[in-house]
Amino acid sequence: MPDNRRATILHLPKIKVCGVTSIEDLGLLQSAGVDSVGINLVRTSKRFVPIELANELAAHAKSLGLTTVAVVMDPTGDELLQIVRNVALDFMQLHGHEPPEIASCCEGVPILKAVAWSGLDEQENLVRQWTAACDENPAPPFDGSRSHLAGFLLDAHAPGVGGGTGLRARWDLVFPRPSCLEGWPVILAGGLTPENVEDAIGQTRADGVDTASGVELSPGRKSGELVTNFAEGARRGFSHIKD
């Protein structure tokens, strides 16, 4: 793995809870040992928050030491610029069919490219487009000069939804790592719960995990008990992975 990609693993979300919609729930994440929060700006999502609330959530999350991730799906360049310039972000998670050219609108914010992974040719082609663009335009990790691809988030295949469905991803298609993803950090999402996250990490050797519905009382409202159990299961899973 090239040095710049290896470095991103140290900064990537490792235990991420997505779709937080209230300040109160951020405290649950911190107390449970979650390191990252996803703030959903996809208008069709049940966990959508307007940009003003997104900014408030991100600012408070950062004050608690949480990594902040904005989740968008097929935005325009202007929409990306508005988010980048108004929300305190550590990562931009692109959850649609965005071409790599749109990275320039992220103004230095590292990108997590989400892919609804089921091994289809179109999904592999999207991954290769992004990795090829990165290889042609290498950038040091997080130097702030421009956006770059930090890694991939692999979700369940749910066309047009943009995550948070509770559908389980195909773990058997994540490890052994497909050739198009080889050498890139991978965050696993899709149907992860406190009950299965440890096994998911063991089977996929993912570098990070992400959940939304798996730790909820209702869409956007998190359960302290479920978040705690999820984080504990994830830590056990990561502790068993051997380099």
State both tokens at 62: 């950062």
Residue 9's Cβ-side half-sphere holds a number of Cα atoms within 13 Å equal to 12
Please tell me the total count of domains within the chain.
1
CA of residue 240 relative to chain centroid, distance: 22
Question: What residues make up the domain containing 193?
Answer: 3-240
- For 167-209, the pLDDT digits (tens) are 788 899 999 999 999 989 999 999 999 999 999 999 999 999 9
End-to-end CA distance of the chain: 13
Handedness of CA 209, 214, 217, 218 (dihedral sign): positive
Report whether pLDDT(138) > 60.
no
Judge residue 29's burial from the number of C-beta atoms within 10 Å of its C-beta, 0-12 exposed, 13-18 middle, 19 or more buried.
buried
DSSP β-ladder status, 216-218 and 221-222: antiparallel
pLDDT at 148: 81
Confidence of residue 164 (pLDDT cuts 50, 70, 90): low
Asked which of 31-40, 136-145, 148-157, 218-227 is least confident by mean pLDDT, the reply is 136-145
Q: Report which of 168, 146, 144, 142 is spatially closest to residue 155, judged by C-alpha positions.
A: 168
Q: Which of residues 82 and 242 earns the better pLDDT score?
A: 82
In sequence order, the 6+-apart residues with CB closer than 8 A to the CB of 239 are none
CATH number, domain of 25, equals 3.20.20.70
Name, of 4-13, 40-49, 151-160, the range with top average pLDDT.
40-49
CA 243 to CA 23: how far, in whole Å? 37
CA 236 to CA 174: how far, in whole Å? 19
**Statement: the pTM of the whole predicted model exceeds 0.95:** no
